[in-house]
Amino acid sequence: MSEPQGAAPAPRSLRPGTVTALLVAPAYAWLTLAIFLPLVAMLVFSFLTVAPFGNRVAEFTTTHYLVFFNRPYLVEVALRSLALGAWTTGICAAIGLPAALALSRAFRGRTRELLFFLVILPFWTNGLVRVFSWTMVLRENGILDDAVRVLWPAAPSFGLLYSQPAIVIGLVHAYLPYMILTCYLSVVAIDDAVLEAAKSLGARAPVVFWKIVLPLAAPGLIAGSVLIFVPVIGSFMEPRILGGKAGVTIGTVIEDQFTQAFNWPLGSALSFIMLAVVLVIFAVFSRALRGRLTAS
Amino acid sequence: MRTLVDRRRFNLMLGAGVAAGALGAAMPRARAAGKITVLNWQGYGTDEAWALKLFAEQTGIEVVHDNYNSEQEMFTKLRTNPGAYDVVVINSAWTSRIAEEGLLEPIDFATVPNAVDLDPLLKDSGNFVFDGKTYGVAWVWGMNALGVRKDKAAGVDSYDVLLAPESADRVALFDDAITEIGIAALMLGQKIDDPSDMPAVIDKLKAMKPSVKLIWSSEDQWNKAFSAGEFDYSIYWSGAAGRSQKAFNLPVEFIVPKEGAIGWLDGLSVPASAPNKAEAVSFINWMIDPAFYVKWATDVGAPASANTKAMDELPADDPQKLIHKTEYLKQLQFMSPMPDERRQAFVDAWEEVKAFYAS
């Protein structure tokens, strides 16, 4: 096919501002529709006595925000959810940063591409399938036990399924790619000359890591932690399936309010309280981290 | 009521293909004697294509459907669309509440010949009665009670097995507030949907902590964990127990212990505003006909029929027939309507118990 000669209209010139607005508009329209409006609706619901469906009359109330005082057992649930978030994020960082370093420093070309593919693979598998395959691995006399018994036939069963560690394992598997990718972006930007300079000045590997790599990788670590910590606190699928009776988190409590109690207002209020808690934690941490980074 | 939705979802999966053809198949009718509209869950018996075809051939009545996805939605549709429906399938927990609003027509059993074979305990269930009149025809029913591994089932006749030392770490509970509160209420001799002593109910459930291994929330999850040998004793659905035996060959025995079980019962009713009441009643009569039920139950899979003759005509080895023994009916407490505040109190109590199990 050939372009019709001379028939093309002269391109109209648009001002750069208009172009930017046009390019950005679809994204913002989508965000408004898909995120902002539902969030506002949920915020409104959280101040109502009942969800205003059918012929039920909703009135204004703030009692849902006192839920942690009215139901003290939820405090423990919330603390356990935060601990779950801390463990998952910590383990992701402990595995993800070395993996990112290896990817950026030790591998090149095809090998690196293949390893990246393996890192991203969990993203492409259905979450439910992933979690159910973990149940087969972790359960008593499951694949993990069988594997250990190949080396040590009399090994006792791990019996990890239906416990807090099982939930952490499932969550780490799901969220590790975020940490590896964000860390990789930070680490790959570190100039080799900086590391060589440190070594030539006599710094041993641990010192190089602590004084140079870690501070320079911090933006990636922080971004990865934010991406992981928030969804883990609200997770409900992994706790339900891998946690057994240990699988009670703020996420499952919120889910029950929506699906079992039809109490959308309480579910929304719990979500916003947890959002506030997370924001406070990040505010404290980012201040502490900024202090540490500028000091070093 | 998540139990019911899940049960229906299963039927929906089985019947989806058949249901899709139902409306089309009903269109060419033999005689133009009329057309009725049925309001029901999708894929739940009344829309079996072969059954509608047979019914149209025999009576000339064409059947079309409208569906609901929750009991609240069904109630709203009855309220806001007068004259739109001729037959409605109602969980009997709701029947008297809907009749109270004047939305239903009383049933004259003289016009429903097959009703003579209905089990009297179900036919005359108080759930159908308002102001001395009956507003629903008992259709199908099921139970929530104990599902126990066969080699551990000998001698199990009480929910106390959930507290016994030998059950430590061998119990699976169902993640549903209404069911679990109801089971603890049965153990304490209280009413399942309005326990007189809620703190005692909560303590009873908390006492099961050493036994509880997992809390299941779907039939699939139950089947996987049971076949992996992760628990021996559980709170389970009667219909699901039959499917686990038949489809997955799992060694589960469904036991209704001496304290009783939680029952549910679905009925067929005629709205007060129905335009074709006589045709509606003849469709209801067909729905409780053994000829319809046996084919539905054996070809597609159905809950237990309220018609004793229909249950008798099932093959002798049918698991649903073996599980849904009619003598159990005397031991059932049926789910009844629940105000929103009490539902919330149930969910809160169960949430507190689950948090205690996890701690």
Which of B176, B215, B221 is nearest residue A245 as measured by Cβ atoms? B215
Nearest CB to A245; choose among B76, B177, B357:
B357
- Secondary structure, 3-state, A148-181: HHHHCCCCCCCCCCCCHHHHHHHHHHHHHHHHHH
Task: For an interface test with A, give the residue of B354, B356, B357 to mutate (most A CBs within 10 A).
Answer: B354
Q: Please answer yes or no on whether A74 and B358 come within 8 Å at the CB atom.
A: no
Domain ranges of chain A: 72-295
Query: Does the CB of B341 have a partner CB in chain A at under 8 Å?
Result: no
Residue B64 has pLDDT above 70, yes or no: yes
Partner-chain contact A245 B348, CB within 8 Å: no
pLDDT for res B31: 39
Chain B residue with the nearest C-alpha to that of A264: B344
**Residue contact B224–A257, C-beta within 8 A:** no
Output the CA torsion B252→B256→B262→B263 (10° steps): 90
How close does chain B come to A179, measured CA to CA in Å? Answer: 29
CA-based nearest residue in chain A for residue B178: A260
Encode pLDDT of B128-176 as tens digits.
Answer: 999 999 999 999 999 999 999 999 999 999 999 999 999 999 999 999 8
Which of B177, B214, B351 is facing A162, going by the closest CB pair? Answer: B214
Contact list in B for residue A253 (CB cut-off 8 A) is 351, 355
What are residue B148's DSSP bridge partners? B233, B253
Which of A31-40, A121-130, B272-281 is predicted most confidently? B272-281
A54: left (phi over 0), alpha (psi -120 to 50) or beta: left
Confirm if A133 and A152 have CB atoms less than 8 A apart: no
Give the pLDDT confidence of B183-206 residue by residue, as tens digits.
Answer: 999 999 999 999 999 999 999 999
How far apart CA A256 and CA A252 sit, in angstroms, is: 6
CATH architecture group of domain A72-295: Orthogonal Bundle (1.10)
Is a pLDDT exceeding 60 seen at residue B30? Answer: no
Q: Given CB atoms, is B229 within the 8 Å cutoff of chain A?
A: yes
Hey, is the C-beta of B359 within 8 angstroms of any chain A C-beta? yes
Query: Phi first, then psi: what are they for A52, rounded to 5°?
Result: -80, 65
Structure tokens at B222: 């139950």
C-beta atoms of B356 and A50 within 8 A? no
pLDDT at B14: 43
The answer to whether B304 faces chain A, any CB pair under 8 Å, is: no
B2-141+263-318 CATH choice from 3.20.20.70, 1.10.10.10, 3.40.190.10, 1.10.3720.10: 3.40.190.10
Q: Residues of B with CB below 8 A from A63's CB?
A: none
pLDDT at position A53: 65
Tell me if B2-141+263-318 shares its fold with B142-262+335-358: yes
- A261 to B347: CB separation less than 8 angstroms, yes or no: yes
Q: Give the domain ranges of chain B.
A: 2-141+263-318, 142-262+335-358
pTM comes to 0.79
Beta-carbon separation of B355 and A132 below 8 A: no
**pLDDT tier, A67 (very low <50, low <70, confident <90, very high otherwise):** confident
Nearest chain A residue to B173 by CA: give it.
A245
Q: What is the dotted CATH code of the domain comprising B142-262+335-358?
A: 3.40.190.10
Q: Which region among A2-16, A61-75, B245-259 has the lowest average model confidence (pLDDT)?
A: A2-16
Does B326 reach chain A within 8 Å, measured CB to CB?
no
Least CB-CB distance to A245: which of B176, B212, B352?
B212
Q: Any chain A CB within 8 A of the CB of B343?
A: yes
CB contact under 8 A, A77 and B355: yes
Query: Where do the DSSP E strands lie in chain A?
Result: none
Chain B residues lying within 8 Å of A142, measured CB to CB: 228
With beta carbons less than 8 A apart as the criterion, state whether A107 and A114 touch.
Answer: no
pLDDT band of residue A9 (cuts 50, 70, 90) is low
For residue B183 the two structure tokens come to: 């089971």
